[in-house]
Amino acid sequence: MPSIGIVGTGAYLPENVVSNEEIAAGAGVTAGWILEKTGIARRHRAAPHQATSDLAAHAARRALAQAGLSADQLAFVVVATSTPDQPQPATASIVQHLIGATRAAAFDVNAVCSGFLYGLTIGTRLLSGDADPAAPYGLVIGADIYSRILDYSDRRTAVLFGDGAGAVLLGPVPAGLGIVETALTGHGDQHHLIGVPAGGSRAPASPQTLAAGEHFFRMDGRAVRAFVHDELPAAVGGLLHRAGVAPAQVKHFVPHQANGVMLADVWPDLGLVGSALHLTVDRHANTGAASVAITLDEVHRRGVVDRGDLVLLAGFGGGMNIGAALLRWALDRPATALSRSGGRTAATAVLIDSATG
C-alpha cells in the first residue's frame, strides 16, 4: 500500500470584500458586536455571475500549478459542498469539465462544514487501492457560497459566513510521510441543529416555503457551540490515540473556521500543548467546507509548516458531523514563502503557541 499525502494546495477567495459595517445594520447589531462575538472582521462574497463550481475550479487550478501537475493526471475530483450549483448534476462534474480532468471520476460530498475532511478520507482510501499509473493523483476541494442562502436579518447566521474554495492534491509520497490517520463521526440525532428546511424532497420549494423563509440557512448557535465543546475534544483525542501520537507531538492544528471566539474557548480542552492554532476566520469568516483547505493553503504558502511536521485537521458542522485527519507533512516549504517572524505570520489571524499561552 503506497503512502498517500498532500502534494499540492490551492485556494480562491472572491475579490469582493464585505466588512462588518456593511452587514451589521441589516442584522440589527453593530460592527463591534460582530467582532466581539465571532472574531470576524470581514469576509469575501462571490460575484453574481459566480457559482460554487467557479470558485472550486479556481482553487483546483492553483493546487495543480503549485504541484506542477496537469488535470489529466487526476483519478478523481471530489467537491465537498452544501451549496452546490444546482441539485443535479454534481458540482464536481462541472469542475471536472472546467479544469479539463478528462480521466477523472467526479462526485460531491455533503457533510456540510465537515465535508472537506470526509472528502479527504474518501480520497485517501481510493488512492490507497489499485491506482491507475497514468492517473495516480486525486483532487479534493471544499467550496461554498453561503451568501446565497443567508437571511441577512438573522444575526445568528448573517454575520458568520463568507464565500471561498480550497483544494488539495492527494498522491504518492515517501514512506513515513502523508496521511497517518483519519476519523469520521456522525451524530444524526442532532441533525436539526443546522440546516436549510426547504428545497428538497421533504419540502419542495414553493411560494409558501419562500414566504416562510425556509430556503434560508438556519442554525441553533448555542446548541452547536455545546456540541463542539462536548464532542470535538473526544474526537481529537480518539484520533491521536489510534495513531499512537501524544497530543504534545502535534505541531500544527488547522480547524474548521466556524467562529473565532468559540475556537479560542475550546482550544484549551484539546490538550495540544506546544501546537500552533491557525485561524483565518477574522479575514475570511466561516467558509463552510472550504475553511480548513483555505487555511491550510495559506499556512503552507507562508512557509509555516516544515516537512515531517505533524499536522492535525478537524472539521465539524451540520449533520452533526465531525471529521479529523492527522498528517505528517510531505511538502517542503515553497521557495517563495515568507520567513517566519516572531512565531507569527500574515497568513494566520491567530497563531497561538499553547506552550506560552
Q: What is the pLDDT of residues 276-330, one digit of tens each?
A: 999 999 999 999 999 999 999 999 999 999 999 999 999 999 999 999 999 999 9
Nearest alpha carbon to residue 265 among 252, 277, 254, 274: 277
Q: Where do the domains of the chain lie, and which CATH numbers do they carry?
A: 4-175 (3.40.47.10), 179-353 (3.40.47.10)
Residues 237, 314: contact at Cβ < 8 Å? Answer: no
Whole-angstrom distance, CA of residue 193 vs CA of residue 200: 17
Q: What is the per-residue pLDDT for 130? A: 67
Whole-angstrom distance, CA of residue 308 vs CA of residue 64: 22
Residues 64, 44: contact at Cβ < 8 Å? Answer: no
Grid cell in block for residue 327: 498528517
Q: What is the pLDDT of residues 74-99, one digit of tens each?
A: 999 999 999 999 999 999 999 999 99
Whole-angstrom distance, CA of residue 96 vs CA of residue 271: 40
User: Phi, psi at residue 104, to the nearest 5°?
Assistant: -85, 140
Give the count of beta carbons closer than 10 Å to the beta carbon of residue 114.
Answer: 31
Residues 6+ apart with CB under 8 A from 270: 232, 233, 236, 237, 247, 253
- Full-model pTM: 0.93
Whole-angstrom distance, CA of residue 164 vs CA of residue 148: 13
Helix (H, G, I), strand (E, B), or coil: what is residue 332? coil
Q: What is the pLDDT of residues 211-258, one digit of tens each?
A: 999 999 999 999 999 999 999 999 999 999 999 999 999 999 999 999
Residues labelled as active-site residues: 113, 256, 286
Confidence of residue 350 (pLDDT cuts 50, 70, 90): very low
Q: What is the pLDDT of residues 100-152, one digit of tens each?
A: 999 999 999 999 999 999 999 999 999 987 667 778 999 999 999 999 999 99
Confidence of residue 1 (pLDDT cuts 50, 70, 90): low
C-alpha angle 273/225/236, rounded to 5°?
A: 35
